[in-house]
Structure 1
């Protein structure tokens, strides 16, 4: 890639509050080359910034069976689980295989189709859309960098406080580089494809997410790292008390 700077940062995955509407990410994540990558289960696939910076997306891991770090997250899930930006559904399918109540949501038709083929339950929707069970979910997942959905972590956390029950559990994956706190505009692209439509995204290390969560009224329950990946567990405030 002539002129592009590739950074060896961890893979991420794809996604209005009434007060702060956000640009929709749906078209970018619903179109090629993302759709093609999910259908084949292979990359390479990247998020490209306007200056040529590239973030690799770990399509092969998303399409594989859950790894030990994933299984640690699944073991922490409580009750009914909503996987936000479920991608090809490895976590939803694994939870379903354990007899757990789980639903994945994703803006990509290909992601939803692949999740269903794996035996998981999934709905094509944005987290900012009306969702089944709003206010009653026990656990929500924001894995593979999905804390970046919408490019506004505060707005996303406010929305998650309404999706979860009071005291519900949010398990989020962060960038395993503590000083990362970015708001960027990116496009999805393959190695030879024209980039898709631009959309807002965010990248947060654990300290940045904890600052944001506390400002929004969330309680920090735990933080841990495993296999080069970083995670945070948060407890939801009452929806009306979210920062």
Structure 2
């Protein structure tokens, strides 16, 4: 019998994820129903921006909205460099870490009403956050509502040619886990198909430090 799925916002507040953010380290995974594990790079999320992150930051123009900002390394760095930037995350501990690092963040879902809708110069979906909600099409349409008419959407995709929607839960590898929810994983080709239907066109793709990104334009 399939487990009843939890509202994703509640699932990400599960103790294993919040505990990992407080500690600044894993192990932490997304576990699929068949037992497959996707490692979550908590240490990198809680560190200073790396080479791949710098490529994202260099492409940010105008005010920046970071969807699923986590502990806020990108938001805090943008703020320190004089950008107007706001993070959005459903996990209170993530928002707390972001503000402690000097960034601004709100504890809410991207599908909730947000400040500046239709006026963000750059919207970010980094660290696999195109997976939020398990419905990339809905997320891309929402990002189009948030971005300015000439705005951009910077998306991190998988390096493999993947297009999947799966039931997962947060797992610490030591017996602690959260409730199940839906997640998506997309490579660049799958993203292009979804993006076109949501009103986005591809501007550029690039890779850095073993990670892959796509720059989409309205």
TM-score if structure 1 supplies the norm length? Answer: 0.86
1:134 aligns with 2:108: no
**How many Å separate the matches in 1 of 2:175 and 2:103?**
30
Indicate the SS of the match to 2:193: helix
Query: Deviation string for 1:115-162 (max 9, x for gaps)?
Result: 000000011011000001111111000000000001011000111110
What is residue 176 of structure 1 aligned with on the other side? 159
What is residue 81 of structure 1 aligned with on the other side? 64
- The alpha carbon displacement at 1:106 in A equals 0.2
- The alpha carbon displacement at 1:83 in A equals 0.3
Indicate the SS of the match to 2:15: coil
1:164 aligns with 2:136: no
What is residue 181 of structure 2 aligned with on the other side? 199
**How many Å separate the matches in 1 of 2:126 and 2:149?**
21
1:234 aligns with 2:216: yes
Residue segments in structure 2 that go unaligned for 5+ positions in a row: none
What is residue 26 of structure 1 aligned with on the other side? 9
1:49 aligns with 2:32: yes
**Number of equivalent positions:** 214
Indicate the SS of the match to 1:186: strand
**How many Å separate the matches in 1 of 2:71 and 2:34?**
29
- The alpha carbon displacement at 1:74 in A equals 0.3
- The alpha carbon displacement at 1:76 in A equals 0.4
- The alpha carbon displacement at 1:195 in A equals 2.1
- The alpha carbon displacement at 1:23 in A equals 6.8
Query: Deviation string for 1:200-230 (max 9, x for gaps)?
Result: 1000001110111112221111111111100
Is the contact made by 2:6 and 2:180 (CA closer than 8 Å) also made in structure 1?
no
Query: Deviation string for 1:37-61 (max 9, x for gaps)?
Result: 0000010000001110000000000
Regions of 4+ moved over 2 Å: none
Indicate which of 58, 81, 85 corresponds to 1:102: 85
Residue segments in structure 1 that go unaligned for 5+ positions in a row: 1-21, 237-243
- The alpha carbon displacement at 1:27 in A equals 1.0
What is residue 18 of structure 1 aligned with on the other side? none
What is residue 223 of structure 1 aligned with on the other side? 205
**How many Å separate the matches in 1 of 2:152 and 2:7?**
26
- The alpha carbon displacement at 1:70 in A equals 0.2
TM-score if structure 2 supplies the norm length? Answer: 0.96
Is the contact made by 1:33 and 1:193 (CA closer than 8 Å) also made in structure 2?
no
**How many Å separate the matches in 1 of 2:57 and 2:7?**
29
